[in-house]
Structure 1
């Protein structure tokens, strides 16, 4: 029977092996051809690993990434620019809409990359953008603007759409966020029961009609605070429909996404 000291030594050796494998992976990935999908320049890792341990920047360079992130504070209700770090602008304070947290605007740089993740299975930039979302979340939690949820719930696809696409980008984002934040992922309590047509190109009223009754909670929810995870929030119709289900069980909902597609003219 192994002694306690031998068990400790084996554990220590295994941890060292894991660290060395992770380091070798970073070196290998960093040496492979890696160009930014926006500017087509070779991606220089610089000090990226110091910011995100054992991570390699892929799909988007640091210059394009930094230029595409919000350069100012935004309202978590409508996405409008605001002067101070707070939840809502004056207009949204009157009706306190659902909170939407994103690191950038869909219209100001990263939109083509996020669309490519969904429609072209080009997932190279997904980790980098998700890491920026995690940083934004950490800042808002630190300053008490939002509360840390108990669980992450990816917006589900209908089984037909999942078979057609082959993956759910919201699930991939939620998985990465769970690893970065330590918040567990639950993909079993919410399902999409209606195979709705794509929301792209639909007007607001059409979107609401399209999403009505499309989702279902599987059982009584045991959480008090949840975060819905999606790639993009446009009018908020999808997350509003899901939030209605959770609110009926007195569950607080916020939405985390890679980017927000604000209303036309809002950022002018």
Structure 2
């Protein structure tokens, strides 16, 4: 048998093995106990795998997921409701803030799940919500409202926080997005130098002071367009501080997250 024929046969075997593995993984995960963390009902796959082949819905049921997603178009600048698919509302057009892409509002259903990912290690819903984020990103790219980045950059944790928590949820989201969208990850160029206090209970002024000079970026970053990846964007203090470093190197920045926490009163 020639080397070429052998390689061809081995390549086919590997492809079939991957296919069998994916099928077995889906079948196994589908059979495990799986409860929605919002309504506590059993998560049924129904037509989810038809919409997203080889994906298993876990941690959240289709009803709760569908109800929590944006039911209208939103401004990618501030998050307010807008009447048609476009990047910015009239107010944001005047100063074109950094684009923030999210599939839902933190305040309208998924907030408890996203908080539980970070603080309680309840990671089951990450895949399903990240799938919705990937779908939203693809829609915006298709309509030329955003440009596809060259690389995904997860917001880093300080080594102390990483040891304490055991994982970086932003990296998990970026890894899944990389698989879904085929965009590589750079998780070595951006580092968190300061072990900042948790942002949750801080005012906007305190958040800005807390994040100032907390990050460091490699001097010769090799990309021109990136997407910063995080679990939730609230005041935007963290991503704006990071974006400042990239802008100094003439790198275009947008932010992708599982949910955004809009300013008080914006959704009223």
Q: TM-score, normalised by structure 2?
A: 0.98
Structure 1 residue 264 displacement after superposition: 0.8
Quote the residue 1:256 is aligned against: 256
Q: Residues 1-268 of structure 1 correspond to what in structure 2 (within 5 A)?
A: 2-268=2-268
**CA distance in 2 between partners of 1:178 and 1:219 (Å):** 24
Structure 1 residue 10 displacement after superposition: 2.5
Structure 1 residue 3 displacement after superposition: 4.1
**CA distance in 2 between partners of 1:164 and 1:235 (Å):** 25
| Over 3 Å off, 4+ runs | none
Q: Equivalent residue of 1:186, what SS?
A: coil
State the number of aligned residues: 268
**CA distance in 1 between partners of 2:170 and 2:14 (Å):** 33
CA RMSD of aligned residues (A): 1.0
Q: Equivalent residue of 1:10, what SS?
A: helix
**CA distance in 1 between partners of 2:170 and 2:24 (Å):** 29
**CA distance in 1 between partners of 2:176 and 2:136 (Å):** 15
Q: Equivalent residue of 1:257, what SS?
A: strand
Structure 1 residue 14 displacement after superposition: 2.2
**CA distance in 2 between partners of 1:102 and 1:6 (Å):** 46
Structure 1 residue 128 displacement after superposition: 0.2
Structure 1 residue 2 displacement after superposition: 3.6
1:72-119 per-position Cα deviation (integer Å, ceiling 9, x unaligned): 000011000001111111111111111100000000001100000000
Structure 1's unaligned 5+ residue stretches are none
Which stretch of structure 1 is more off in the superposition, 228-237 or 29-38?
29-38
Structure 1 residue 55 displacement after superposition: 1.2
**CA distance in 1 between partners of 2:78 and 2:246 (Å):** 21
**CA distance in 1 between partners of 2:189 and 2:6 (Å):** 43
Q: Equivalent residue of 1:113, what SS?
A: helix
Structure 2's unaligned 5+ residue stretches are none
**CA distance in 2 between partners of 1:97 and 1:184 (Å):** 25
Structure 1 residue 254 displacement after superposition: 0.2
**CA distance in 2 between partners of 1:224 and 1:22 (Å):** 35
**CA distance in 2 between partners of 1:262 and 1:176 (Å):** 25
